[in-house]
Amino acid sequence: MRRWAIVAATVLMTGACTIQPGGLTGSTGDEGQIRKQVDVFVETIFGGRGGEAYELMSNRCRAKDPKSTYVRNSKLIHQNLVGDEVEPQDVKISVESDRARVTYTLDIPQISDAKQRWIKESGEWHLDSCLF
């Protein structure tokens, strides 16, 4: 069970990220909104609240994996890897139009770096690095 939690958490934090390099710019407002979403996502997925984390996923990711997958894996991650609250550190956000790349670190021994893709859908930022 612990091994599965480590694998799930690793996939969670390194989701398939591809973004074209060069010229990434965005507004401070977008960066602030993304930072709030990142904080909520980390709090919910590592806090065993996968259903809430699922709501922060992009439409593409929600079509790919059912909510039950997020609920189950979030509980496993919380029970096996995370005891206390987890907060993203050294957050870096690069925005271009309705897409963003976010990197941060976590204080979890099995996971050191997170690299994620975010997308703006219907005016709100959603994680577009499908996790499971």
pLDDT band at 54 (very low <50, low <70, confident <90, very high): very high
Q: Is 2-15+24-127 assigned to CATH 3.10.450.100?
A: yes
Terminal CA-CA length for the chain: 16
CA distance 77 to 116: 18
Of the two residues 23 and 94, the one the predictor is more confident about is 94
pLDDT of residue 14: 44
pLDDT of amino acid 131: 80
Predicted TM-score of the model (pTM) = 0.78
**CA 35 – CA 113 distance, rounded (Å):** 16
Q: How far apart are CA 60 and CA 108, in angstroms?
A: 28
- Domain assignments of the chain as residue spans, ordered by start: 2-15+24-127
